């Protein structure tokens, strides 16, 4: 079963803590109403990797060091879907999406049967609708006998019109 909760609030940036409390209340109510055994939050992040032949020295506390070092290809890396359990404070195995080719592709191809994570290859490095379907299938198979609530952001790429049918 798929449900959509509208957790957006007008003026979120001005009233962040009040909005977070309201969103948390909606999530808790949905979990109770659906009688779920698992509540997960999934978000994806991009991890840039590149070969560096030299070391980089930066000041203590420097942020975003990758921007100080010139990178030939800013899209060379992988997307990592991180899923955290709200009820057990644990992270699920990594779900990695690679499209870079070359060294990273070769390395990940060698580890494609590694069971502690899932590595997928995609023409683009972000989560598409097809990758989302594979992710949902993996999540459902992992918790086959348990009702699960998955919380995701409002990114439009993986959640196209086909997924939002009936939600308005």
Q: Tens digit of pLDDT for each residue in 145-155?
A: 998 888 887 66
pLDDT, one tens digit per residue, over 29-46 is 888 898 999 889 888 888
**CA distance readout (Å), 118 to 8, 14, 40, 105, 142:** 31, 39, 17, 14, 12
Task: Note the pTM of the prediction, 2 decimals.
Answer: 0.64
pLDDT of amino acid 73? 57
Q: What is the pLDDT of residue 84?
A: 92
């Amino acid at each position: 079963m798929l449900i959509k909760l509208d957790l957006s609030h007008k003026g979120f940036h001005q009233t962040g803590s009040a909005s977070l409390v309201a969103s948390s209340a909606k999530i808790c109510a949905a979990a109770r109403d659906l009688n779920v055994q698992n509540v997960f939050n999934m978000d994806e992040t991009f991890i840039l990797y590149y070969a560096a032949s030299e070391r980089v020295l930066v000041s203590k506390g420097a942020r975003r060091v990758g921007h100080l070092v010139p990178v030939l290809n800013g899209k060379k890396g992988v997307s990592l879907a991180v899923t955290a359990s709200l009820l057990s404070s644990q992270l699920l195995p990594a779900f990695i999406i690679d499209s870079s080719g070359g060294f990273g592709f070769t390395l990940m191809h060698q580890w494609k049967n590694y069971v502690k994570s899932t590595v997928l290859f995609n023409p683009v490095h972000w989560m598409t609708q097809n990758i989302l379907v594979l992710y949902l299938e993996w999540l459902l198979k992992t918790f086959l006998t348990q009702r699960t609530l998955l919380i995701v952001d409002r990114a439009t790429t993986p959640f196209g019109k086909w997924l939002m049918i009936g939600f308005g």
